[in-house]
Amino acid sequence: MMLPLLAAIVYSEITVERITEQSELMAGEANRAGQLSWELPEDLRQMERILRQYVVLGDPSLIDDYVVARNEWRRRSATFAEIPLIKSLAPKIGELMAMEDNAYRSLGSSGEGLPELQTTVTLILERSIAMADEAARIVDAERLSFRKRAEELRDRLMVGIAAALITALVLLLLGRRLMARLLSRVERAVQALGEGQLDRRIALRGPDDLKRIGERLEWLRCRLRELEEQRTRVLRHVSHELKTPLAALREGSSLLSDQVAGPLTPQQSRIVGIMHSNALRLQTLIDGLLRLQRAEHALDRFERVRLRFDDVIQQVLATQQLAVRDRRLRIMGTLAPLAVTGGREEITTIVSNLVANAIKYSPAGGTINLSLTRDGDQAVFNVVDQGPGIPKDDRAKIFEPFFRARGTANSVAGTGLGLAIASEFVHAHHGLLALLDSPAGAHFQVRLPLSREQS
């Protein structure tokens, strides 16, 4: 994505270097042209003075001096004609040199061609002065043209750099978007693993590095699935193996409690009662573990039906009437007639666990507020009790298996699995179970998607 910008920088460097070289070359040629434009007329004036002196003095040595001055003028004229900056003047310089050469050849030993040579040198001097002015104009025009070309080139460079910056920015944004899409695939794959979706094969498309990450995630998925299957088999095996001796223990304690084998002392009766209650508690714990295991794998594995959420709540309340009456509790609130789509047994378990939890922790004679309302395309079920509530430090762990909040673990019997099972079933229905802030007691809220007919 930095390639366009680098290309623009390299092009700018080359262009600036070329402009610098051209500028230095043109400056050198202009200086030489200016110097020769001044020296050539001076040479001609020197030649003209020598000829005048020869006319007056008649000294033959002056002809030798003229030849020296003439050769210097011709050398400088040839150099002047070779300057590329003023190459358009080369024919005129050649013409002046030819004029002087013809006049010089007509000069005899007795000096009969001297007037013609003087006239020719004077004419060449006049033309040289005019040619020097023309050379100056050419140099000025070339400088102006070079300045315009430099400005145009500068503008092109600015446009090129701006285009390169825009291209680099666009490529950067596209690269970030592509990287975000690639990372989102990894994130979705990791999230699926975290949510226990181990049945869907992971295959990431893209660069080789991303494919290798996908291969490692697929290996991790297979490994997690294997471990989960092993855990499930162990749990089922242990539960099955425990049920038979546990049933015998429970049945035996019941027979002893009924004094089938003979009368018991008060101390023996207490021991039998402890055995029987702990056998029942262990049975409840095993059943809870099996339900939790089923809840953890409930996603898309239960039969989805359309059912009235308010009817499910009423049915659960009917089954809990005995516990409500024993604790002299009042059930308050309103239930809107809302329909959801999901597993009947699973949704019943969600409501039953939350209501049973509220009954369990509510003080005798307290009030439990239940409400079922609609919020957009969701059914919202609230359960608020007047119990001890959940300490802030324990709220993050309240939906973990076997966790029981401090201050309630010893005062109220329970397995610590009810909220964990409810949370797994709510998640399997693409809903949300949350513990909300409440001035007193605990406030649990369930959000489930409404059925399509009602949403």
pLDDT of residue 409: 45
The CATH topology of domain 3-167 is Four Helix Bundle (Hemerythrin (Met), subunit A) (1.20.120)
**How far apart are alpha carbons 362 and 451 in whole angstroms?**
33
pLDDT tens digits, one per residue of 53-104? 888 887 878 888 888 988 999 898 888 888 888 788 888 888 888 888 888 8
pLDDT at 447: 94
- Kindly tell me if the per-residue pLDDT of 329 is higher than 80: yes
Which pair of tokens denotes residue 399?
Answer: 């939906």
**Which distant-in-sequence residues (6+ apart) come within 8 Å of 440 by Cβ?**
386, 389
The alpha carbons of the chain give a radius of gyration, in whole angstroms, of 54
**In terms of pLDDT, which residue wins out, 64 or 11?**
64
pLDDT interval class at 318 (50, 70, 90): very high
What's the chain's average pLDDT? Answer: 79
21 vs 7, 14, 18, 26, 158, CA distance in Å?
Answer: 21, 11, 5, 9, 20
State the Cα–Cα distance between residues 269 and 276, nearest whole angstrom.
10
Q: How high is the pLDDT of residue 402?
A: 72
Average pLDDT over residues 358-374: 91
The whole-angstrom separation of Cα 152 and Cα 165 is: 20
Q: What is the mean pLDDT of residues 25-48?
A: 82
Cβ atoms of 399 and 423 within 8 Å: the answer is yes
Query: How many whole angstroms separate alpha carbon 317 and alpha carbon 114?
Result: 142
Distance CA 330, CA 380 (A): 21
Q: What are phi and psi of 306, to 5 degrees?
A: -90, 125
pLDDT of amino acid 295: 54
Span 244-261, pLDDT tens digits:
676 666 677 777 677 666
Q: How many CB atoms lie within 10 A of CB 393?
A: 9
Q: Is the pLDDT confidence value at 272 over 80?
A: no
pLDDT band at 343 (very low <50, low <70, confident <90, very high): confident
Largest Cα span, the chain: 176
Contact 33/86 with Cβ under 8 angstroms? yes
Give me the count of residues in the chain: 455
Confidence class for position 373, pLDDT limits 50, 70, 90: very high
Which residues have C-beta within 8 Å of that of residue 436, sequence separation ≥ 6?
Answer: 443, 444, 445
With tokens 């994130």, the residue in question is: 187
Please state which architecture CATH assigns to domain 305-449.
2-Layer Sandwich (3.30)
Tokens in use for 29? Answer: 């040629």
Domain ranges of the chain: 3-167, 208-296, 305-449
Residue 340 pLDDT: 92
CB atoms near residue 246 (< 10 Å) = 16
DSSP summary character for residue 378: E
| pLDDT tens profile 434-449 | 999 888 888 999 999 9
Report pLDDT digits (tens) over 125-147.
888 888 888 888 888 887 888 78
**Per-residue pLDDT averaged across 299-306, rounded?**
71
Q: What is the mean pLDDT of residues 295-321?
A: 80
Q: Note the Cα 292 to chain centre separation in Å.
A: 39
Instruction: Give the pLDDT band of residue 378 (cuts 50, 70, 90).
Output: very high
